[in-house]
A = this chain, B = another copy of it.
Amino acid sequence: MATEQKPASPPLTERQEARRRRILHASAQLASRGGFDAVQMREVAENSQVALGTLYRYFPSKVHLLVATMQDQLQQMHETLRKRPPAAQAPSARVAETLMRAFRALQREPQLADAMLRALTFADRSVSPEVDTVSRLTTAIILDAMRLPGPPTAEQLSAVRVIEHTWHSALVTWLSGRASIAQVKIDIETVCRLIDLTASE
């Protein structure tokens, strides 16, 4: 299995790659300040020194842009986790530890988290491929944390799916102020018990 790669339609030139980075950087920066609403397309264009039309050529909508931003952040998180993998004994505990670590990272940039997650859950069918990429990245992170000896069973994949659902939804309730940090922790720990369930059967 090769390292994850996009279809990579036409390979971008260097300047294009640079533009893309500037855009993503500006997006993340504005998001960090004021969350979803603060990421205004005109301002992203200005801050990344790109015309509005160009911005839209690179990212066909605000949601596309923010989902791409999330991909970026997740990728980094994945790297970080690879370097310092979770230490707990049980697979379920390792997954919980991993997610709590990610959660703590998000707490440091709650506005950025807001922007990315709102975009992710608001995305419609036109963003499905990109959202799917985020989903696959998340799955990869969780499976890494489980450190299975072999390929995951169907049951384990189901458990992972449910964990992802809970993860996303719990974050949303936290971001909208309807759940405390402690509550999210409990939810994560609760859902991770599903993993133990699949191990024993």
Which A residues contact B (CB, under 8 angstroms)?
36, 118, 121-125, 127-128, 131-132, 135, 155, 158-159, 161-162, 164-166, 168-170, 172-173, 176-178, 183, 186-187, 190-191, 193-194, 197
Contacts and interface: CB of A to CB of B under 8 A. Distances in A.
A197 B124 CA distance: 35
5 contacts: A132-B178, A161-B187, A165-B169, A166-B169, A197-B197
A176 B128 contact: yes
Contacts of A121: 118, 121-122, 169, 172
A135 B178 contact: yes
Contacts of A125: 176-177
Q: Interface SS of chain A: helix, strand, loop or mixed?
A: helix
Chain copies in complex: 2
A122 B131 contact: no
A162 B186 CA distance: 10
Q: Which of A123, A125, A161, A168 has the most CB of B within 10 A?
A: A161
Contact of A191 (B123, B162, B170, B172): B162
A33 to B, nearest CB: 16
A190 B122 contact: no
Contacts of A194: 190-191, 193-194
